[in-house]
Amino acid sequence: GQSLEQPSEVTAVEGAIVQINCTYQTSGFYGLSWYQQHDGGAPTFLSYNALDGLEETGRFSSFLSRSDSYGYLLLQELQMKDSASYFCAVDDKIIFGKGTRLHILP
Amino acid sequence: DTAVSQTPKYLVTQMGNDKSIKCEQNLGHDTMYWYKQDSKKFLKIMFSYNNKELIINETVPNRFSPKSPDKAHLNLHINSLELGDSAVYFCASSPQGRPDQPQHFGDGTRLSIL
């Protein structure tokens, strides 16, 4: 079957670094995407990894290991506005994980 | 200049009614999607259309019927609404539906069934 696993909640302190992990099991894998969703808002695209390695976009980085069926989203210099839910997704049939709720403490 | 717009934003109706949600995108994208997000925030694909043709049709009750009059519009009609249909429904689009292309989401339609 197809599934994605990510922690349901993560808590971190403002200014710190946090890593949100995602493991996947899917029949047709092309790449791993990450989306951010604030409460009451729409999901917005953050990153996409098709190849192994780290992709950096400002304070956010995303990593993929195809051999381990694993990826993570790394958020640096956390700001209060980063409090949101983060979803990993694989693109065979656009399967989303259940989301990780990120709580940021001042 | 909203990229993906859905109407209505809120929909409160009684069980058994029929309702429609409209979606339009002005990005020139070929591919459009409907997602359902339940109270636990689980985001699940329902349908995908590419240039007015149905591409993905997940296990969704046939009370749900998508319609794409042109590639800029993908509407969702729901017959005989049930309590379990209460959720937020998101429309999204991407250029050609390729895996490396980000999806652009509308603001969602919050459907509540009484």
Inform me whether the pLDDT recorded for A93 exceeds 70.
no
pLDDT-derived band at A2, boundaries 50, 70, 90 = confident
Higher pLDDT, residue A28 or A68 = A68
SS3 of B79-92: CCCCHHHCEEEEEE
Q: Averaged over A19-48, what is the pLDDT?
A: 94
Q: Which residues, 6 or more positions from B45, have their beta carbon under 8 angstroms from its beta carbon?
A: A93, A94, A95, A96, B33, B34, B35, B56, B58
The distance of B74 to chain A (nearest Cα, Å) reads 17
β-strand partners of A55: A62
**Could you tell me which of A25, A4, A18, A16 has the C-alpha nearest to residue B42?**
A4
The distance of B44 to chain A (nearest Cα, Å) reads 7
| Percent of all residues in chain A with a pLDDT value above 90, rounded to a whole number | 84
Inform me whether the pLDDT recorded for A7 exceeds 70.
yes
pLDDT-derived band at A92, boundaries 50, 70, 90 = low
pLDDT by position in tens, chain B (length 114): 679 999 999 999 999 999 999 999 999 999 999 999 998 889 999 999 998 888 888 888 999 999 999 999 999 999 999 999 999 999 999 999 888 899 999 999 999 999
* B66 touches B47 (CB < 8 A): yes
B38 touches chain A (CB under 8 A): no
